[in-house]
Amino acid sequence: MVQGKYLYYGDDLSDVYNIRRKVFVEEQGVSEKEEFDEYDDLSIHALVYDNSENKKPVATGRVYNDGKNYRVGRIAVLKEERGKYYGDFIVRLLVNKAFLSGAEEVIINAQVKAVPFYEKIGFITYGDIFQEAGIDHIAMKVLLHSFCKKCDKK
């Protein structure tokens, strides 16, 4: 069975950082300075483990309240584990946590190539495309009443 867990300030985030380093720094060329920021200490992180006997960590992401909005970000799935719905699961864990914490909407700055993925969960785009760490992004949001609760497993 696939499992997920939340990690909080003071917890061991080494698996979170290892996944993000592999995906964003090594694979996408984002600098470590840009990838690891002050929001890591303020965030609730989620980690997803595969269904193997060893429970390998395969996906991560974070959610935080910036004082105005709940924001999901740093969604990362190991390259060899993509297409297995781990990304879908991690996003739902984080969005659900935000809604349970009182959010009425959740925002993400999504990589443009990932827009269809987020749309399946209920996110909609708004605003213009912008660059973040040299990669095209667009703002997206999901409202509590439009959040799709079932994983997109066909």
| Per-residue model confidence as pLDDT tens digits over 92-119 | 999 999 999 999 999 999 999 999 999 9
Q: Is 43 contained in some domain?
A: yes
- Domains in the chain: how many in total? 1
Residue 33 identity:
K
Q: Is 41 contained in some domain?
A: yes
Q: Enter the pTM of the model.
A: 0.91
CATH number for position 44: 3.40.630.30
Taking phi first (over 0 means left), then psi (-120 to 50 degrees means alpha), and beta for anything else, what does residue 114 get?
A: alpha
Domain span including residue 29: 3-107
Provide Rg for the chain, Cα atoms: 15
Q: How much is the pLDDT for 65? A: 96
Q: What is the dihedral of CA 28, 34, 7, 136, to 10 degrees?
A: -50
Taking alpha carbons only, the member of 103, 105, 110 closest to residue 61 is: 110
Cα(23)–Cα(74) distance, rounded to whole angstroms? 10
